[in-house]
Amino acid sequence: VVGGTPTTTQQEPWVVALSSRSRFGADRSGQFCGGVAVGPRTVVTAAHCFGEEALGVDDWHQLPDLRVIADRTDLSGDSGEELQLSQVWVNPDFDQTTNANDIAVVTLADDLPSGASIPLAQSSDTADYQAGTPAEVYGWGDTTGNGDYPTTLHTASVDILADSDCEHAYPGGSVGTYQPASMVCAGVDGGGRDACQGDSGGPLVVAGRLVGLVSWGNGCALAGYPGVYTRVSAMADLVAEHM
């Protein structure tokens, strides 16, 4: 998260980290993506976190130390719990060219610590998606855009932006194509606050509901290039089916 401040998972117990020390190193508990607890044994994250480009292997089963870490704000410590994954459903409609439908549902082998879950925004929660609505993004990703990864969870306040802002920024190109049906646009005028590399799969929250998952964008916190998030309300039925 660029332009944010450190926070604690005591306040946001539903923010979790995906980790593999063998692939990403032990320093920061092997964190490589964010995730969000949405049920006692269910975590949602980005589909692209399970892609070959992210994992370095073509199937997550080939990373035997893949874990979901809960209740650990400071990744340099050993608080909280590391849970094994029992099942991963990667949305088969995820499109690597446009980045549409960037969601995966992870089922854990054991229950998360109690209270660690947040409700999904529903399609009827239209106010959550109005341009100008304040939202918070959370993650352990790059804080500068230059590869500076923090050990503590960070959060920044951004605004939900009009779909037209992202359609204008991302009409179709090498980073992705903005598709309002499955994506949400968020950022701040002039840039400066945004999700960044390593935040993928983590939460965008409005009024205590999960409205988005960090998905993609052109760089981080650049003026004119908002962050693009998976539109959770469009996928709430799919998530329910797989939990």
Kindly write out the interface string for residues 144-183 of this chain, putting x where it contacts ligand 4AZ by CB under 6 A and - elsewhere: ----------------------------------------
Closer residue to ligand 4AZ in complex, CB, 103/116: 103
Binding residue for ligand 4AZ, selected from 45, 140, 227, 230, defined by CB under 6 A: 227
What number of other Cβ atoms are within 10 A of residue 134's Cβ? 12
Rounding to the nearest 10 degrees, give the CA dihedral for residues 96, 54, 108, 240: -20
Residue with the closest Cβ to ligand 4AZ? 217
Smallest distance from ligand 4AZ to CB 86, Å: 25
242 is catalytic: no
Cα Rg of the chain (Å, integer): 16
Residue 174: CB atoms within 10 A of its CB come to 6
Nearer Cβ to ligand 4AZ (66/166) = 166
| Binding piece for ligand 4AZ, criterion CB under 6 A, among 57-65, 90-98, 150-158, 215-223 | 215-223
Single out the segment in contact with ligand 4AZ by CB under 6 A; choices: 3-11, 92-100, 122-130, 214-222: 214-222
Q: Which residues pair with 67 in a beta bridge?
A: 19
Counting contacts by CB under 6 A, is residue 74 touching ligand 4AZ? no
Could you say which residues in the range 192-211 bind ligand 4AZ, by CB under 6 A? 194-197, 199-200
For ligand 4AZ, the closer of residues 34 and 80 by Cβ is 34
The site map against ligand 4AZ for 23-42 (x = CB under 6 A) is: --------------------
Q: How far is the CB of 81 from ligand 4AZ (least distance, A)?
A: 25
Rounded CA-CA distance 163/168 in Å is 9
* 133 vs 197, beta carbon nearer ligand 4AZ: 197
Min dist CB 204 to ligand 4AZ, Å, is 11
> Locate tokens 């799969």: which residue?
201
Residue 181 CB contacts under 8 Å (≥ 6 apart), including other chains: 100, 231, 234
Interface residue list for ligand 4AZ (CB under 6 A): 194-197, 199-200, 214, 216-217, 220, 227
What positions carry a catalytic annotation? 48, 102, 200
